[in-house]
Amino acid sequence: MKKYTMLIFLFIFVIVFSGCKSIHVESSNDKPGVPLPPHLANCVGLNASATGECVRETYSNISLCEKLDDYWKDYCYTQNANIFQNSSVCEHVQDLGRKDNCYFSVAVKLAYTTKDPAYCNIINITNAKQDREECLWGLFIITKDSKICNLIRDELKKQDCVAYHNNST
């Protein structure tokens, strides 16, 4: 239980506190065979803050995404969805794994910043049940709101949630 809780805290920290400054500009060395797209060439070699702003500005233009090859197109849509916290952009992502990640990251950011568990329902693709439960569990850890436990469908996780709440009050 403690290990699971620590992993959740780490996951929450990464999701909630990640911003544009942490967007990684990939180079051709990061993904062999996938060259750095020309639209990010101006972002390379800048300090972290300037790189984050450059990437944010670049991915703010969703029409740019359509012009990219499949890998970068999916990446572009995911970045745009996260920047604007708009899950409808995730529909454009073609790869199902990246689409799942797009929905999950947007849902978690919205749920954790607004403290509203309804945003966890945005997660609706292939791994939806597990990811939705993780989103709700993480939100419970942040808010300590026992009502969130009732939204968890997995009985074991629901029991863990209630037990954790009872032990922390």
Give per-residue pLDDT as tens, 61-78: 888 888 887 888 888 899
Q: CB-based burial of residue 39 (10 Å sphere; 0-12 exposed, 13-18 middle, 19+ buried)?
A: middle
> Which pLDDT value is given to residue 17?
41
> Which pLDDT value is given to residue 154?
87
Q: Cα 11–98–78 angle (5° rounding)?
A: 80
* Annotated domain spans of the chain: 2-168
Cα separation, 43 vs 13, in Å, equals 26
Tens of pLDDT, residue by residue over 3-12, are 444 444 444 4
Rounded to two decimals, the pTM is: 0.67
Cα separation, 74 vs 89, in Å, equals 10
Q: Assign 37 a pLDDT band (cuts: 50, 70, 90).
A: low
Cα separation, 62 vs 79, in Å, equals 10
Q: Assign 147 a pLDDT band (cuts: 50, 70, 90).
A: very high
> Which pLDDT value is given to residue 36?
57
Range with the lowest mean pLDDT among 15-19, 38-42, 117-121?
Answer: 15-19
Contact 28, 34 (CB under 8 A): yes
Angle between helices 96-114 and 2-17 (to 10 degrees): 90
Q: What is the percentage of the chain residues whose pLDDT exceeds 90?
A: 36
